[in-house]
Amino acid sequence: MKVCPDMSSIAPPNLPGATKEPIWVRYLLISVALFFLALFLFVPLVSVFFEAFKKGADVYLAAITEADALSAVVLTLIAAVIAVPLNLVFGVSAAWAIAKFDFRGKSVLLTLIDLPFSVSPVIAGLIYVLVFGLQGWFGEWLSAHDVKVIFAVPGIVLATIFVTFPFVARELIPLMQAQGQEQEEAARVLGASGFQTFMKVTLPNVKWALLYGVILCNARAMGEFGAVSVVSGHVRGQTNTLPLHIEILYNEYQMAAAFAVASLLASLALVTLVLKYIVERRVQRELAQAKDAGVAA
Amino acid sequence: MIFSKTLLRQRSVLPGFDLALGLTLFYLCLIVLIPLSAAFLRTTSLTWPEFVDVVTSERVVASYKLTFGASLLAAIVNAVFGLLVAWVLVRYDFFGRRFIDALVDLPFALPTAVAGITLTGLYSGNGWIGQYLEPLGLKVAFTPIGVFVAMTFIGLPFVVRTVQPILEDMASELEEAAATLGASRLQTFAKVILPILTPALLTGFALAFARALGEYGSIIFIAGNMPMVSEITPLLIITKLEQYDYAGATAIAVVMLMMSFVLLLAINGLQAWTRKRQGK
């Protein structure tokens, strides 16, 4: 018969509260944090929907089904539908080059990819005016060939691409770096083609991070204001995206209509947050797995 | 083939380096580098004294002061409350914690124009919050304080999201050791926890500061945009552009770009420091 030794005599003394704050401190900190977040996040979010429905559902429906609003919806969708896939292709190829190969100038490239995030949206719009505007580098040539970029849809798309440029690449690069290249090398040695390796090994490993990048990219693409405002001619029904349409309504003191359109974008933000919350955990799991595999190897 | 011969440090069995890097560089040049260089080349149409004249004119300097000061103040407030929020979210369990954790990213997801008109509505004289502040003599909307409020809103997630993972990874042994050695809870926080968090805290601070400096959409609605009083620098660029003063707009943009680049370098350095501290 085995006798269990009595551990209580050698266990460390129980010190309740030694690494915890007193209960009143805990409640105080939670209250202050919640008050701050309520004031800056929750109240604004609620007030968007409150203001939108203040004058009733009829005014709300009229505001979001009006012709100018609908054409703003269409333009916003066009900009996102072009910008997101292009940045997706760029993000994947940048991540492939950076994560799977060791080359000179990698850290410079990483910094340059992040550059659009540190540039003010207004400047993002301005630089395209300098290149494609009437007084810009290609201005004369473009107007001679009757092509409009600035104050037209192409300019809006370009500005949107610029401000959403790093999103996908940023999500993919750290994950693919952590995953290393052993699996792809194994696939190649076993006879898979480069394309097969990418589709069957790399892509399944990063699918959630890819989706995460696309969600963030899309949210920004549909909501961008500053950059788009510089290159848009603010022509109602033609070069207005949803955020610009909100500005026009607001400046015309059509508050209920402005908030009604704003509530569409706020709903998009809420959907983004929910998707982000769901996908974020899977991305963290992918990353944790990659790190564990790295430690094991 | 050119990239794999010149740049690659180690040969690899994986294919596609030339294609991937080629595509990346082409797209980067087309979308980012060539247009950005236009800003710098365009300023050369001004002589140096003209350039200095534009970027140091009274109205422009007033806008730097406002933009810089309000950004700094907003980043400080975000550093303090961001640390508090991260701490509360990681260390305590309370009703609605997950909901609040998800809500912290709202300023990233909410389009700036929506944030702008919403904050203006809340803080104007008859708004939900403004009606209580105005009797106290505190006018927020259409004043520099409004600029600060909008900047605080858009910078809110940065510090929380940089500090949170470090706090989650922190080994409890350190705090236990400090407690065993007789440190009070406050001493442990100040001398053990805070030094570990400092690089991440500074990174979050710098990110919030950089974002606030360039912010436009949420601010122009609430600022009132009075020259010399509540006019931010990005708005001045737009004003000049609308007057077809391309050289003037570009000169101010170049000054802002230089500030952004300095901040970007600082942030990269801070992130490297954070990783080193974490031993990764």
pLDDT in tens, B3-56: 877 888 877 888 889 999 999 999 999 999 999 999 999 888 889 999 999 999
CA angle B200, B204, B208 (to 5 degrees): 170
* Residues with pLDDT less than 50, chain A: 1-2, 7-14
Contacts of B266 (CB under 8 A, 6+ apart): B206
Contacts of B85 (CB under 8 A, 6+ apart): A33, A36, A37, B104, B160
Residue of A nearest to B154 (CA): A40
Task: Look at chain B and count its residues.
Answer: 280
Q: Which residues in B lie closer than 8 A to residue A114 (C-beta atoms)?
A: 264
User: Both tokens of residue B102?
Assistant: 């998800």
pLDDT digits (tens, 9 = 90+) for A79-126: 999 999 999 999 999 999 999 999 999 989 999 999 999 899 999 999
Q: Which residues in A lie closer than 8 A to residue B121 (C-beta atoms)?
A: 47, 51, 255, 259
- Contact check, Cβ <8 Å, B14/A120: no
Region of A124 (left: φ > 0; alpha: ψ -120 to 50; beta: rest) is: alpha
Q: What is the CA radius of gyration of chain A?
A: 26
Interface confidence: ipTM more than 0.95? no
Q: Which residues in A lie closer than 8 A to residue B152 (C-beta atoms)?
A: 40
Number of Cβ within 10 Å of residue A141's Cβ equals 11
Q: What is the CA radius of gyration of chain B?
A: 23
Chain-wide mean pLDDT for chain A? 89
What are the C-alpha distances in Å from A273 to residues A84, A280, B248?
18, 10, 40
Per-residue 3-state assignment (H helix, E strand, C coil) for B61-77: HHHHHHHHHHHHHHHHH
Mutate to test the interface with A, among B23, B80, B91, B110 (most CBs of A within 10 A): B110
* A133 vs A161: CA distance, rounded Å: 17
For residue B238, the distance in angstroms to the closest alpha carbon of chain A comes to 7
User: How many CA atoms lie less than 13 Å away from A89 in the CB half-sphere?
Assistant: 13
Provide the pLDDT for residue A297.
54
Provide the pLDDT for residue A284.
85
- Contact check, Cβ <8 Å, B8/A45: no
Residues 185-214 in A contacting B (C-alpha not used; CB under 8 Å): 185, 188-189, 194, 197-198
- How many beta-carbon contacts under 8 Å exist across A and B? 285
Mutate to test the interface with B, among A14, A23, A24, A37 (most CBs of B within 10 A): A37
**Three-class DSSP category at B241:** helix
* Residues with pLDDT less than 70, chain B: 1, 279-280
* A41 vs A38: CA distance, rounded Å: 5
Q: Which residues in A lie closer than 8 A to residue B105 (C-beta atoms)?
A: 273, 276
Is A104 an interface residue toward B (CB < 8 Å)?
Answer: yes
* B216 vs B195: CA distance, rounded Å: 34
- Contact check, Cβ <8 Å, B216/A120: yes
* A171 vs B238: CA distance, rounded Å: 32
Please check whether residue A125 is in contact with residue A227, taking contact to mean a CB–CB distance below 8 angstroms.
yes
Q: Which residues in A lie closer than 8 A to residue B13 (C-beta atoms)?
A: 185, 188-189
- The backbone torsions φ and ψ at residue A13, rounded to the nearest 5 degrees and listed phi first, read -60, 140
Is B215 an interface residue toward A (CB < 8 Å)?
Answer: yes
Residue of A nearest to B235 (CA): A122
Q: What is the pTM of this model?
A: 0.90
Report, in this order, helix, strand and coil percent for chain A, each rounded to 5: 75, 0, 25
